[in-house]
A = this chain, B = another copy of it.
Amino acid sequence: MAEKKITPRDKDYSQWYLDVIREGDVAEPAEVVKGCMVIKPHGYALWEGMRDDLDRRFKATGHKNAYFPLLIPMSFIQKEAEHVEGFSPELAVVTHAGGKELEEPYVVRPTSETIIGHFFAKWISSYRDLPLLINQWANVMRWELRTRMFLRTSEFLWQEGHTAHATHEEAVEETRRMLDVYADFAEEVMAMPVVKGEKTATERFAGALSTFSIEAFMQNGWALQAGTSHDLGQNFGKAFNVRFQNEEGKLDHVWQTSWGVSTRLVGALIMCHSDDNGLVLPPRLAPIEAVVVPIFRKAGERDRVVSACARLRDDLVAAGLSVELDDREGVKPGQKYYHWEARGVPVRVEIGPRDLDKGQVALKKRLAGSEREFVPMEGAVSRVRALMGEIQSEMLRRARERREESTVTVDSWDDFLDLFPEGRSSFVYAHWCGDAEVERQIKEETGGVTIRNVPLDTQPEPGRCIRTGRPSTGRVLFARAY
């Protein structure tokens, strides 16, 4: 058997994450470019799969893609007061170009509300131009002090939706619609259940009236903010003078939204599902859905086994599956198993001389605890296809189960503290009085536990703040978070 190169989750979760990325051939730190990474083909294919699926959902909800400049005049960032405060410390600045110092420096976009606001002002003049529903797939840059591959990198890939509406109601509706799109995508495609909710004022996007998020449960009990959707009110409309004539002929500023998900989702996918053998990928995103491994000891068996494997590979490809045949010479089956497990291939097909004699193949799911199942050769293709659906559902079921096992409702501060020893976390539903200062205090006293969001799908429930005992109208979700 191949040497285990992945640190177990229980031993060191952070190291496990890095090991899974390395052994899964997903990405590597760029080193020579501070806080950046190279997304390798296997990792980029995961992002492509996410992008293509999300893009269909955005188009189905009426959005169109466009592209705005990478560079934004420094003065633009300064037009919305909270926005500049939020993003200034993280900006990368272009001061020279074409061999000369620039009169006004440009920032590399950290997000595009400002430059898009500038163009919305040119494009919108009447209620007939609304709603304007735009999305952009792009790279952005936020100079982060502490980085972690996919979860927080100086440059990342993302999409940013930007919309303008005639009324606040419509903008709020859009904000919630796109939150639902993200949540549906996370569950249906990533097999990752999420908690939809509203961020507290402290955690709001710089310049928004309200921010909604989807929060996913990672296997170490931590939360990961996987997507956000912002109701920008008229803040950017006023800062960039985006006005329209309404049906009554009066001028008003537009109501805007913005919403985004990023390559962070690749990190979420890994932390949600992978195990001590490497990546575990949901079939709907797996770049390779099945691998066929020929098993033989003697040279005489080779041709017969490999050609049967090649035929099955062809049949699987003809059935629409993405399949690899691992017929490498000089590599033992065990090493091959390790190789493809680390890369998260959902199903392994093994064929040896005895299988051929019996007219069968062995199938092994990538899921922990799965046993080999033997199926007749002629039923192999339909069984492998069926397994894709089974694995997809099973991954979501297990992820839900893990989250539920770590979800707790508490009402006393002592119990709360017990749930959050240093570095450890659960999903904890508790009451909070709504005071930002108390939120800050809780974060400080627990060494980092934050309110992830105020969940949308819980019932109002009167209670007392976990920290102050003051009245509260409902529980919020606490956790440590990436």
Q: Residues on A close to B: CB < 8 A?
A: 28, 30, 32-34, 36-41, 44-45, 47-48, 64-73, 76, 88-99, 105-106, 108, 115, 118-119, 122, 134, 138-139, 141, 143-145, 154-155, 157
Q: Chain B: which residue is nearest A47 at the CB level?
A: B67
Q: Chain B: which residue is nearest A32 at the CB level?
A: B73
Query: When chains A and B are docked, how far (Å) is the Cα of A94 from the Cα of B32?
Result: 15
Q: Which residues of B contact A30 (CB under 8 A)?
A: 68-69
Q: Chain B: which residue is nearest A25 at the CB level?
A: B123
Which residue, A88, A96, A118, A144, has most C-beta atoms of chain B within 10 A? A96
Q: Which residues of B contact A37 (CB under 8 A)?
A: 69
Known contacts A32-B118, A98-B143; A45 and B73 CB within 8 A of each other: no
Q: Chain B: which residue is nearest A122 at the CB level?
A: B28
Q: Which residues of B contact A32 (CB under 8 A)?
A: 73, 76, 115, 118
Q: Which residues of B contact A139 (CB under 8 A)?
A: 70, 138-139
Q: Chain B: which residue is nearest A63 at the CB level?
A: B41
The dominant DSSP class at the A interface is: mixed
When all copies of this chain in the complex are counted, the total is: 2
Contact A48 B71 (CB under 8 A): no
| Contact among B41, B91, B145, B157 for A64, CB-based, below 8 A | B41
Contact A99 B95 (CB under 8 A): no
Q: Chain B: which residue is nearest A134 at the CB level?
A: B41
Query: When chains A and B are docked, how far (Å) is the Cα of A472 from the Cα of B97?
Result: 42
Q: Which residues of B contact A134 (CB under 8 A)?
A: 41
A118: shortest Cβ distance to chain B, in Å? 6
| Contact among B48, B96, B157 for A95, CB-based, below 8 A | B96
Known contacts A108-B108, A143-B98, A145-B98; A155 and B90 CB within 8 A of each other: no
Query: When chains A and B are docked, how far (Å) is the Cα of A144 from the Cα of B32?
Result: 27
Contact A66 B92 (CB under 8 A): no
| Contact among B41, B119, B155 for A38, CB-based, below 8 A | B119
A-B contact pairs, 14 of them (CB 8 A): A33-B69, A33-B115, A34-B97, A38-B119, A41-B64, A45-B64, A67-B157, A70-B139, A88-B99, A89-B98, A90-B98, A94-B108, A98-B143, A108-B108
Query: When chains A and B are docked, how far (Å) is the Cα of A90 from the Cα of B47?
Result: 31
| Contact among B69, B76, B97, B143 for A97, CB-based, below 8 A | B143
Q: Which residues of B contact A141 (CB under 8 A)?
A: 70-71
Q: Which residues of B contact A72 (CB under 8 A)?
A: 33
Query: When chains A and B are docked, how far (Å) is the Cα of A33 from the Cα of B97?
Result: 12
8 smallest CB-CB distances across A and B, nearest first, come from A98-B143, A41-B64, A39-B67, A92-B97, A36-B69, A93-B96, A33-B69, A97-B143
| Contact among B66, B69, B105, B145 for A40, CB-based, below 8 A | B66
Query: When chains A and B are docked, how far (Å) is the Cα of A260 from the Cα of B1?
Result: 43
Known contacts A64-B41, A99-B89, A139-B139; A33 and B71 CB within 8 A of each other: yes
Which residue, A40, A91, A94, A144, has most C-beta atoms of chain B within 10 A? A94
Q: Chain B: which residue is nearest A65 at the CB level?
A: B44
Known contacts A33-B72, A72-B33, A106-B33; A66 and B95 CB within 8 A of each other: no
Q: Chain B: which residue is nearest A287 at the CB level?
A: B64
Q: Which residues of B contact A65 (CB under 8 A)?
A: 41, 44-45, 48
Q: Chain B: which residue is nearest A141 at the CB level?
A: B70
Query: When chains A and B are docked, how far (Å) is the Cα of A143 from the Cα of B76?
Result: 21
| Contact among B39, B90, B95, B144 for A93, CB-based, below 8 A | B95
Contact A66 B91 (CB under 8 A): no
| Contact among B48, B98, B115, B155 for A69, CB-based, below 8 A | B155
